[in-house]
């Protein structure tokens, strides 16, 4: 079909300028209305969460519902912090995310560099091995991995949390795509200067690939931060839990959910991510779409 259109373009005289302006009045209003509805649907649940985190019990358990809290008191936050070790959750999430994402990106970079720039007989096979791993989701292999980690005595440990999901398949794939587009002249100049491969990777390839790396890194930071099933399995001590796992401890402790406290906890885990997202959204969006463009 698209071919027909292309042929038509060739025939169409380009003389007539597009008329814009008066035709747009009505559809525009409709467009704005739809946009308002879409934004409201996306935002209202988040607003509802944030408002609830400041509400007292009698403001929550009331019919008809009350939108605004009487005052913006922090008592729910204090209650959440007192009920569960949120500080530990936060530190554990931070450690697993920072260490996990840094190592994962480094592994992706070195593997992609090897596949693109090093001479090796089984290069294609190795790359195939890495990319084929994309077909094996971590969710499918939880039982053998759990058994291994538990045999190693790594339950409730950082290595148990981080190592099983550390390998970089998707990152390697994206970095390879990117490395193939790099101008070879820069690397050749570096090679002539006697720079080792290690130096060439970190001093030349990485700096000129910074935007791509940042985009991939941000996406992997977000997904590590939100990771849930694996940390749920390998941690049973509260002090070693990450935020998503620890958050569920606030749920249904005494049969009736204390919504105010639970929503305060939910705010504590979502708001840092939202802030990062709003600040760095351009890069995050690039990271999210890069998979689609190359795939």
Partner 1 sequence: MSTMTPPVVMRKRRTPWKSWLLFLLFAGPNVALLIIFTYKPLIQSLQYSLLQWNIGSATARFVGLSNYSNWFTDPTTANVVKVTVIFTLVTVAGGMVLGLSLALLLNRKLRGTGMARTVVVAPYVLSGVAVGLLWLFVFDPNFGVLGAVLKGIGLGSPDWYNDPSWALPMIIIVYLWKNVGYVALIYLAALQAVPKDLLEAATLDGAGPFASFRNVMLPLLGPTTFFLSVTTLLSSLQSFDIIQAMTKGGPLEGTTTMMYQIYQEGFATGRAGYSSAIATILFLVLLVITAVQMLFIQKKVHY
Smallest distance, Å, CB 139 to partner 1?
A: 5
**Using the rule CB under 8 A, is 261 a contact of partner 1?**
no
**Using the rule CB under 8 A, is 140 a contact of partner 1?**
yes
**Using the rule CB under 8 A, is 169 a contact of partner 1?**
yes
Among 96, 168, 209, 212, binds partner 1 (CB under 8 A): 168
**Using the rule CB under 8 A, is 234 a contact of partner 1?**
no
Smallest distance, Å, CB 44 to partner 1?
A: 7
Among 56, 206, 273, 283, binds partner 1 (CB under 8 A): 273
**Using the rule CB under 8 A, is 180 a contact of partner 1?**
no
Under rule CB under 8 A, which residues in 80-119 are in contact with partner 1? 107-108, 110-111, 113-115, 118-119
Q: Are 175 and 217 in contact (CB under 8 A)?
A: no
**Using the rule CB under 8 A, is 293 a contact of partner 1?**
yes
**Using the rule CB under 8 A, is 191 a contact of partner 1?**
yes
**Using the rule CB under 8 A, is 213 a contact of partner 1?**
no
**Using the rule CB under 8 A, is 72 a contact of partner 1?**
no
**Using the rule CB under 8 A, is 256 a contact of partner 1?**
no
């Amino acid at each position: 079909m698209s071919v027909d259109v292309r042929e038509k373009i060739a025939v169409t005289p380009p003389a007539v300028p597009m008329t814009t302006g008066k035709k747009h009045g009505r559809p525009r209003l409709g467009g704005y209305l739809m946009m308002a509805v879409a934004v409201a649907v996306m935002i209202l649940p988040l607003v509802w969460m944030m408002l609830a985190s400041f509400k007292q019990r009698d403001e929550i358990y009331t019919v008809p519902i009350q939108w605004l809290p009487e005052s913006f008191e922090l008592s729910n936050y204090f209650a959440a912090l007192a009920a569960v070790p949120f500080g530990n959750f936060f530190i554990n999430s931070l450690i697993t995310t920072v260490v996990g994402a840094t190592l994962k990106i480094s592994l992706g970079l070195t593997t992609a560099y090897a596949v693109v720039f090093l001479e090796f007989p089984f290069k294609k096979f190795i790359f195939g091995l890495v990319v084929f791993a994309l077909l094996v989701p971590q969710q499918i292999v939880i039982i053998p991995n759990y058994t291994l980690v538990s045999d190693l005595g790594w339950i409730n440990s950082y290595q148990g949390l981080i190592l099983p999901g550390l390998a970089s398949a998707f990152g390697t794939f994206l970095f390879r795509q990117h490395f193939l587009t790099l101008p070879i002249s820069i690397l050749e100049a570096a090679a002539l200067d006697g720079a080792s491969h290690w130096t060439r990777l970190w001093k030349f390839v990485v700096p000129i690939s910074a935007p791509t790396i940042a985009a991939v890194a941000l996406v992997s930071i977000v997904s590590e931060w939100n990771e849930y099933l694996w940390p749920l399995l390998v941690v049973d001590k509260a002090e070693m839990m990450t935020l998503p796992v620890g958050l569920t401890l606030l749920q249904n402790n005494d049969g009736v959910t204390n919504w105010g406290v639970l929503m305060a906890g939910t705010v504590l885990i979502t708001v840092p991510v939202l802030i990062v997202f709003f600040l760095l959204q351009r890069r995050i969006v690039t990271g999210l779409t890069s998979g689609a463009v190359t795939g």
